[in-house]
Amino acid sequence: MKRTILITAISFVGIIALILILLPQILSGIGLHPAYDREEYDLEGRRALIIATNHDTLGDTGKATGVYGSELTIAYYEFLDAGMTVDIASIEGGEIPFEPVSLRWPLATHADKRYLDDTDAQNKTQNSLSIEDVDFLDYDIIWMAGGWGAAYDLGFSQELGDKISEAYEEDILIGSVCHGALGFLMATKADGSPLVEGMTITAVTDKQVEELGIGITPQHPETELRRLGANFVSATAFRDFFATYVAVDGNIVTGQNQNSSGETAQTLLRMLAEEK
């Protein structure tokens, strides 16, 4: 009897251990950070600018937040591995905080792990450029990363809106993922209308915000983009945290959420390569 109980206990512990070991693969299999088609590009001499939040606290909860890791790291290494010079900026400059869980097992991606071993990349996020000091027209790709922190500053920055407007008019490629699309809110077309008005665009859905129970943020991308007249598109899943979608409209490429980072970055690289 005791031997049977012992064997059962060992088997149970073994099954739990196996599930834990395979958890990242299981999550990927149901949609979290899915595999995406990759091509190698040689874009040496071209430049990319990644923009992220400075905000580090979720409302008055005291909980730490910031940029969602993979929404910055995946794009960073896609651009870097294509031979591009990659700069990192934020609304105020200085430290870019990270959503803590996004850099931990089982959510951390290969790019997140690479970042955690990359002192140069870490220095760029700890001492980011201020967008006020950056000429967006010096870049071939502008990328706006999301994360809950972005809901507190990207969409309220007139400086960012003005510079995105200028970059858009110069046909510079502009990408965003998840809450990064809030960076379009203050941008306008030449006639003064909202830049996103009539444009096909995606970002994190209201459904995902509701499912994650984080409705306290001051701006929700789907709500705000629809308010400005954007043609908002997205995919859905049993939980939208596992959905993914990429939208292209002219020189703007947007990804729905963290799962869309790789495909969105690759789309921008392909478009840039085709311009050469």
Q: What is the pLDDT of residues 135-184, one digit of tens each?
A: 999 999 999 999 999 999 999 999 999 999 999 999 999 999 999 999 99
The proportion of the chain whose per-residue pLDDT surpasses 90, expressed as a percent, equals: 88
3-state secondary structure of 83: coil
Q: 18: pLDDT confidence band, cut at 50, 70 and 90?
A: very low
Q: 25: pLDDT confidence band, cut at 50, 70 and 90?
A: confident
Fold of 43-275: Rossmann fold (3.40.50)
pLDDT at 11 over 60: no
68-80: average pLDDT: 98
Burial class (CB in 10 A: 0-12, 13-18, 19+), 116: middle
3-state secondary structure of 45: coil
pLDDT at 2 over 70: no
The pLDDT score that the predictor gives to residue 17 is 44
The pLDDT score that the predictor gives to residue 20 is 44
pTM assigned to the model: 0.94
The pLDDT score that the predictor gives to residue 26 is 82
| Every domain of the chain and the residues it spans | 43-275
Q: Give the integer Cα–Cα distance in Å for 24 and 139.
A: 35
Q: Which residues pair with 49 in a beta bridge?
A: 87, 142
pLDDT (tens digit per residue) in 113-148: 999 999 999 999 999 999 999 999 999 999 999 999
With a CB cutoff of 8 Å and minimum separation 6, the contacts of 179 are 146, 147, 148, 150, 151, 154, 203, 204, 221
Instruction: Taking the CA atoms of 198, 202, 203 and 207 in sequence, report the sign of the dihedral they define.
Output: positive
The pLDDT score that the predictor gives to residue 42 is 97
The pLDDT score that the predictor gives to residue 7 is 55
Tokens coding 144: 């706006």
The proportion of the chain whose per-residue pLDDT surpasses 70, expressed as a percent, equals: 92
Q: Determine contact, residues 147/71, Cβ cutoff 8 Å.
A: yes
Q: Which of 30, 21, 118, 109 is nearest to 68 (CA)?
A: 109
CB count in 10 Å sphere of residue 204: 32
Q: 5: pLDDT confidence band, cut at 50, 70 and 90?
A: low
